[in-house]
C-alpha cells in the first residue's frame, strides 16, 4: 500500500492533489451542512469557480445533495469520507510521524488527524470525532471518567454517540469551573457525557483559581471530599491543552504573575499546570480537583489538542506521559517534529 502511494505521488501527483481537494471539500460540507457555495469557498480558501466544479462532480456521483438551505452530504458521501480518512492518513505519511512522536515523547499512543485546525476549522470537528470514537471503544462497565472543560473537550462530547450497553459509568469534572461560558464548563460537559453513555455524574460547584487558604477550607467538606476521591480514582482522564499565556489570561491570573511565568519559560498548560519546553512544571493554579502527582495513577489519559500554533504547548505537557494517548492534527504534529528533530 505504502509503495503504491509513493508511486502515485511520483507518477501522477495531480491525481493525488485532486483526491485530497475533493476529500477536503466533502468533509467541509459534512461539518457545516447545510452550507452554501460562497461560505464553502470562504472556509476552504479557494475560488467559487473551483468550488462550483467540485460541487458538480460530487453531486453527479451522489455524494451530496443541493437544496434551498444549502448542500448536504448523502449517506454514500459519509461512507466515502470515512473510507478516505485512512487513505489520506497514509498518503500524507502520518503513520511515520505518529511513530516518531510516540517514541520521542514516550507516549502510550498518538492519533493524527489530517489537516490543521488553525487553517481549517472543520479539522477540529474531526479531532473531536476521533477522540469520541476512541473513548467509546475503551469504555467499560464501572468506569469513572474525569474531564476538564474547554471548547476542544466540548467537541469531543458533541461527537459521542448515544450508548446503551454500559453499566455504572460515573462522570466527574476534573477541576473546578473556569470562565463564563457554561457550555464549555467541566460540570456541563460531565452531565452531557453521562447522559449520552447512560451513566451518572457528580458536579464540582467550586470556581477555579481560588486562594490556597480557601481551597484548604473547602476540601474538608464531605461532598467535596467524595468527588475528589472519585477524580483520583478515575479510569480515564480527558483534557485539553492550551498555550501558557492565553490560558493564564483566561484564568484571570494577575499580569505580573503571568510575566513571571513567561520569564521562567512556561509554554503549555494542562489541567491548571504550566509547563516549560522540557516538561517541567513552572506554576500551578490553586484548585480543587486533579493533581499532577495523581496523573500517573490514572490508567488512560486522553489529551486532545490541535493546530500548528499549539505544537510547543503540546510538546511541553506530553513529555513522558506513558499512559497518555495524544489526539491531535497534522498541523501540530508536523510542527512538533521540527522541535524534536
CATH number of the domain encompassing residue 47: 1.10.10.10
Both 66 and 180 in one domain: the answer is no
Q: Residues 6 or more apart from 119 whose CB is under 8 A from it?
A: 45, 308, 331
* Cell 451530496, residue located: 64
**CB-based contact 280:291 (threshold 8 Å):** no
Average pLDDT, integer, range 306-310? 97
Residues 151 and 218 in one domain: yes
Shared domain for 77 and 145, answered yes or no, is no
On the question of pLDDT at 218 being above 90, the answer is no
Among 90, 121, 140, which residue terminates a domain?
A: 90
Mean pLDDT of all residues in 265-281: 92
The pLDDT > 70 percentage for the chain reads: 91
The confidence score (pLDDT) of residue 55 equals 93
Q: What pLDDT shows up at residue 180?
A: 62
Position 313 scores a pLDDT of: 96
Q: 100: how many CB neighbours lie within 10 A of its CB? A: 16
Say which range, 74-88, 122-136, 175-189, has the weakest mean pLDDT: 175-189
Q: How many domains does the chain have?
A: 2
- pLDDT given for residue 14 in this prediction: 78
Q: Same domain for 12 and 84?
A: yes
Residues written for the chain: 341
pLDDT tier at 6, thresholds 50, 70, 90: low
Sheet holding 242-243, edge to edge: 242-243, 268-270, 273-275, 281-284
Co-location of 40 and 158 in the same domain: no
Lowest mean per-residue pLDDT among 91-105, 108-122, 207-221: 207-221
The predicted-structure confidence for 199-210, as pLDDT tens digits, reads as follows 999 988 776 666
pLDDT tens digits, one per residue of 135-160: 999 999 999 999 999 999 999 999 99
Please check whether residues 52 and 170 belong to one and the same domain: no
* Final residue belonging to a domain, choices 43, 61, 90: 90
pTM: 0.87
Residues 113 and 217 grouped into a single domain = yes
Last residue of a domain, one of 34, 65, 90: 90
pLDDT per residue as tens digits for the range 12-62: 667 778 888 899 899 999 988 999 999 998 888 888 888 999 999 999 999
For the chain, give the mean pLDDT: 89
Domain co-membership, 27 together with 40:
yes
| CATH code (residue 228) | 3.40.50.1360
- DSSP letter (8 states) at residue 141: T
Compute CA distances 46 → 50, 57, 95, 216, whole Å: 7, 16, 28, 55
> Could you read off the pLDDT of 105-134 as tens digits, one per residue?
999 999 999 999 998 888 999 999 999 999
- What is the arithmetic mean of pLDDT over 283-303? 86
Q: Which domain holds residue 330?
A: 93-340
Report residue 320 as a C-alpha cell.
513522558
Q: In 233-277, where does DSSP find H-type helix?
A: 244-250, 255-263
Q: Which of 51, 55, 108, 130 is nearest to 318 (CA)?
A: 108
- pLDDT on residue 87: 85
Is 113:303 a contact under the CB 8 Å cutoff? Answer: no
Are the C-beta atoms of residues 81 and 19 closer than 8 Å to each other? no
* One-character DSSP codes across 92-121: TTHHHHHHHHHHHHT-SEEEEESS-TTT-T
CA distance 282 to 167: 40
Give CA–CA dist 130/155, Å, rounded. Answer: 10
Give yes or no: residues 208 and 60 share one domain: no
| Judgement on whether residues 86 and 105 belong to the same structural domain of the protein | no
H/E stretch holding 304: strand 300-304
Q: What is the pLDDT of residue 252?
A: 81
**Whether residue 218 is found in the same domain as residue 266:** yes
**Residue 1 clears pLDDT 70, i.e. is over it:** no
Same structural domain for residues 321 and 178?
yes
Of 294, 271, 259, 266, whose CA–CA distance to 281 is shortest? 266
Amino acid at each position: 500500500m505504502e509503495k503504491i502511494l509513493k508511486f502515485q505521488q511520483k507518477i501522477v501527483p495531480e491525481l493525488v492533489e485532486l483526491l485530497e481537494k475533493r476529500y477536503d471539500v466533502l468533509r467541509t460540507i459534512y461539518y457545516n451542512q447545510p452550507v452554501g457555495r460562497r461560505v464553502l469557498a470562504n472556509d476552504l480558501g479557494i475560488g467559487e469557480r473551483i468550488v462550483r466544479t467540485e460541487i458538480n462532480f460530487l453531486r453527479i456521483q451522489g455524494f451530496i445533495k443541493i437544496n434551498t438551505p444549502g448542500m448536504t452530504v448523502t449517506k454514500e458521501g459519509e461512507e466515502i469520507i470515512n473510507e478516505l480518512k485512512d487513505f489520506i492518513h497514509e498518503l500524507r505519511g502520518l503513520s511515520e510521524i505518529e511513530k516518531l512522536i510516540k517514541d520521542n515523547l514516550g507516549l502510550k499512543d498518538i492519533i493524527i488527524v489530517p489537516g490543521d485546525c488553525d487553517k481549517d476549522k472543520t479539522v477540529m470537528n474531526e479531532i473531536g470525532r476521533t477522540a469520541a470514537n476512541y473513548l467509546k471503544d475503551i469504555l467499560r462497565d464501572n468506569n469513572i471518567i474525569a474531564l476538564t472543560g474547554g471548547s476542544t473537550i466540548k467537541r469531543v462530547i458533541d461527537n459521542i454517540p448515544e450508548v446503551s450497553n454500559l453499566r455504572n459509568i460515573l462522570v466527574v469534572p476534573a477541576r473546578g469551573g473556569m470562565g463564563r461560558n457554561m457550555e464549555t464548563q467541566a460540570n456541563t460537559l460531565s452531565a452531557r457525557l453521562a447522559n449520552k453513555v447512560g451513566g451518572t455524574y457528580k458536579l464540582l460547584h467550586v470556581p477555579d483559581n481560588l486562594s490556597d487558604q480557601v481551597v484548604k477550607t473547602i476540601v474538608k467538606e464531605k461532598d467535596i471530599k467524595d468527588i475528589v476521591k472519585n477524580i483520583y480514582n478515575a479510569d480515564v482522564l480527558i483534557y485539553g491543552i492550551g498555550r501558557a499565556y492565553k490560558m493564564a489570561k483566561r484564568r484571570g491570573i494577575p499580569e505580573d504573575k503571568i510575566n513571571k511565568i513567561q520569564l521562567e519559560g512556561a509554554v503549555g498548560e494542562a489541567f491548571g499546570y504550566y509547563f516549560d519546553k522540557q516538561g517541567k512544571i513552572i506554576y500551578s493554579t490553586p484548585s480543587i480537583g486533579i493533581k499532577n502527582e495523581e496523573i500517573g495513577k490514572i490508567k488512560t489519559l486522553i489529551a486532545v489538542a490541535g493546530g500548528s500554533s499549539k505544537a510547543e504547548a503540546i510538546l511541553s505537557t506530553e513529555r513522558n506521559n506513558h499512559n497518555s494517548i495524544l489526539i491531535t492534527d497534522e498541523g501540530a504534529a508536523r510542527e512538533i517534529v521540527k522541535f524534536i528533530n
